[in-house]
Amino acid sequence: MDYVKFLKIEFLEVTLNKISYVVTCVSSFANKKNLTKKDAFLYLYANKAIAFLKEHYDIEHTLSIDDAVEDMAEICCQNGGTL
């Protein structure tokens, strides 16, 4: 396999891992806050928690999902969220 093809595959794997992680975190947040997944995503997106997860994925994905949910809730509160 050539190096460029390897890099493309590696990039795809990392991207898919990030997407899976964000989906898991949104689902857990929705369950904890008794929201639909759609409403949870819209709330988290509007209050910058999705951007936070994407930016800090390297650290956040090493923590428990419960810790990530708490971090997202804190980020939302810092950005005007009220849940």
Could you give the percent of the chain with pLDDT greater than 70? Answer: 95
**Packing angle of the helix pair 37-46, 65-78 (nearest 10 deg):** 50
Contacts of 50 (CB under 8 A, 6+ apart): 22, 26, 41, 44
CA 8 from centre of chain: 22
pTM: 0.86
Rounded distance between C-alpha atoms, residue 71 and residue 63, angstroms:
10
pLDDT at 1: 61
Rounded distance between C-alpha atoms, residue 29 and residue 16, angstroms:
20
- Mean pLDDT, the chain, whole residue set: 92
pLDDT at 13: 83
Low-confidence ranges of the chain (pLDDT < 50): none
